[in-house]
Amino acid sequence: MVIILVGLDVFNCSHKTPVKSISPNSFNHHKHNNLTHMQKSSLYLTQKPLLKGLLCFLLILVTVKFGFQFPINAWFKWIGFFIFIIAILQLLHNSSIKYKKLYIWAILTIFIAHTSVLGGFYVAYGDTLDEMILFHALSNTNASESSEFISQNAIILFQVVSLSALLFWLTQRCLTIKSISKQTRNTLWAVMVITTLLHLNNTYRQQNPLFYWAKKVTNYQKQQQLLLQTSETLSKVKKTLPEWNASFDGRDNQIVILVFGESLNKSNMQIYGYKRETTPKLEALSHEDNMCVFTDVLSGAASTQPAIERILSTKTITNPNIREADVMMLAKSVGYKTYWITNQKDYYLYANFVSQADYVKQTNLSATGRSNSSLDENLLDPIEFAIHEQIKQPKFIVIHMIGQHPHYQLRYPEIFETFLGNDEVDTELERNGIFFWNRTQRKYYDNSIRYTDHLIGSMIEQLKNIPQPARLLFVSDHGQEVAHTKNYTGHAPNLVSGYQVPLLAWHNNKDHFNCSCSNLNKPDQTDILDWGLLTFLNINTPQKSPSNDIFNPKFQPRQRWLGNQKKPIE
């Protein structure tokens, strides 16, 4: 703030005293000695227009970073494009083009309006703009809601408008050089050419308001079209519900929780024999007779959307296009109240499954979805609400964690920074030629699993202390390669590590649920887990398939695949 005030005073002084009238020769020695330090600085800057422009540029960067609260990565991207804007504006300012002032004002208005909208989202929500939220709000608002929004956010709006005006004024002050040398002009042209070529890079191109908003509008239109198509499909599928003749034979007050982990490879879990103590709570629970640990389960896909869709519906790897009544529909049809509590943002899952739920709570409101640091502990309060809500019907609560989705170091609070130094796992990885970077990623990954273990343990503790019967099923959508077989971390659709997932079933001993322990070590794949889920929910239907039901003694292993039948697993 001090820098900005000093800069403003300098600019004001320089504005009052034109360059041509402040030559040192026009001041006598007595007057020069009587100048204040600030006036001397102003005098110096008016004779050094490039220095003045540089100071103005730095003040703009400070305004955007701290005024609009841009995170460091977004700030650097903004700076890269702002250099492009400044080069264009300065060249226009020193050109003889007709209506150049109009062009300068138009470019400035568009750019600063764009910056202000993005900055406003950072100030108000601490995150990037979400086109679904913005366009949905704009298309569904009215005068009363607008007035209410303005009154509730008056301080934020005043801050954004004030910063926008300051940014507009400062940018204009950067364009005070009326004549530039040929060398400076060539430099500006070079900068403009380079930054124009940088538009070939998508990340840079998205800093340009024209490309940015075109993409946002296109994305919104696609998402709306997807929602419409999915709604039509679901309407057709719901008409087939009577064919399932579903019935419920459980307790009227029972609670069933399905927890989806994210990118969790069971090989990194202590409960499955991993050398690091990543799951101490689940490890302790595994020794009780009400916890079932399935040891050889693969996901039905190596990415979230198809993996979860195949868990909840009749779609499988071998029959990916069959869309019949899904688990959510059947649960509602037999009397369950359904909940979907998520720390992710996925419009495809929303259209297909989340939109069916009676209660929806999304704790991750970021436009970047899984690229931000929204922690899974934010799920605990809405989970507690769902568990304790007083209703006279069974509850089916679906929880979607952000889990171990890259970037791993964003997935846990600092207190869970457990695996820091060298240990047996790190030594073994180094001996196998795994790079330091990937060994570090493995530590981050394992820290995040320790955090997930804590949260799953907390959910189970809540269920232990309630009077009604309760069950919890935990499964990850898919696995992850984290230097298990190669120097690589991330999704792995062509490696078994990309599909290795935990499957854990727990109940609170207040009903007579039997998870059929004879199946614990049998190979399974989650694209047929929907049949097991129906049993877990006490839903009966003539169409049930005992050979595909992991909780049924008649379960039979079948051929498993990597991806869509690309590679059979022996």
Q: What integer pLDDT is reported at residue 51 of this predicted model?
A: 64
Mean predicted confidence (pLDDT) in 109-131: 76
Mean predicted confidence (pLDDT) in 267-279: 98
The b/e string for 30-40 (b: 16+ C-beta within 10 A; e otherwise) is eeeeeeeeeee
Contacts of 464 (CB under 8 A, 6+ apart): 508
Band of pLDDT at residue 47, cut at 50, 70 and 90? very low
Band of pLDDT at residue 151, cut at 50, 70 and 90? low
Q: What integer pLDDT is reported at residue 232 of this predicted model?
A: 83
The answer to whether the predicted template modeling score (pTM) of the entire model surpasses 0.95 is: no
Lowest mean pLDDT among 206-220, 238-252, 351-365, 421-435: 206-220
Q: What integer pLDDT is reported at residue 73 of this predicted model?
A: 77
Lowest mean pLDDT among 234-238, 442-446, 497-501: 234-238
Give yes or no for residue 7 having a pLDDT over 80. no
Q: What integer pLDDT is reported at residue 186 of this predicted model?
A: 85
Q: What integer pLDDT is reported at residue 342 of this predicted model?
A: 95
Rounded to the nearest integer, the mean pLDDT of the chain is 83
Mean predicted confidence (pLDDT) in 501-530: 89
Between 261 and 1, the more confident residue is 261
Give yes or no for residue 52 having a pLDDT over 70. no
Distance CA 355, CA 271 (A): 34
Q: What integer pLDDT is reported at residue 402 of this predicted model?
A: 95
Sign of the dihedral through C-alpha 119, 120, 123, 126: negative
Q: What integer pLDDT is reported at residue 195 of this predicted model?
A: 87
DSSP E strand boundaries for 32-150: none
Share of the chain above pLDDT 90, in %: 46
Band of pLDDT at residue 145, cut at 50, 70 and 90? low
Give yes or no for residue 137 having a pLDDT over 60. no
Share of the chain above pLDDT 70, in %: 83
Q: What integer pLDDT is reported at residue 53 of this predicted model?
A: 65
Q: What integer pLDDT is reported at residue 94 of this predicted model?
A: 82
Lowest mean pLDDT among 349-363, 440-454, 520-534: 349-363
Give yes or no for residue 122 having a pLDDT over 80. no
Nearest residue to 357 (alpha-carbon basis) of 385, 401, 326: 326
Band of pLDDT at residue 48, cut at 50, 70 and 90? low
Band of pLDDT at residue 141, cut at 50, 70 and 90? low
Give yes or no for residue 12 having a pLDDT over 60. no
The segment with the largest mean pLDDT, out of 5-9, 195-199, 558-562, is 558-562
Band of pLDDT at residue 157, cut at 50, 70 and 90? confident
Give yes or no for residue 44 having a pLDDT over 70. no
- Beta bridge mates, 258: 398, 473
Mean predicted confidence (pLDDT) in 101-105: 88
Band of pLDDT at residue 46, cut at 50, 70 and 90? very low
Lowest mean pLDDT among 69-78, 491-500, 543-552: 69-78
Looking up tokens 């007579």, which residue turns up? Answer: 512
Residue 543 CB-density burial (10 A; 0-12 exposed, 13-18 middle, 19+ buried): middle
* 8-state DSSP, 278: S
Cβ atoms of 233 and 348 closer than 8 Å: no
Q: What integer pLDDT is reported at residue 10 of this predicted model?
A: 36
pLDDT, tens digit (0-9, with 9 covering 90-100), for 475-495: 999 999 999 999 999 888 889
Mean predicted confidence (pLDDT) in 296-318: 93
Q: How many C-beta neighbours within 10 Å does residue 99 have? A: 9
Band of pLDDT at residue 152, cut at 50, 70 and 90? low
Distance CA 503, CA 524 (A): 10
Distance CA 117, CA 213 (A): 11
Give yes or no for residue 31 having a pLDDT over 70. no
Q: What integer pLDDT is reported at residue 478 of this predicted model?
A: 95
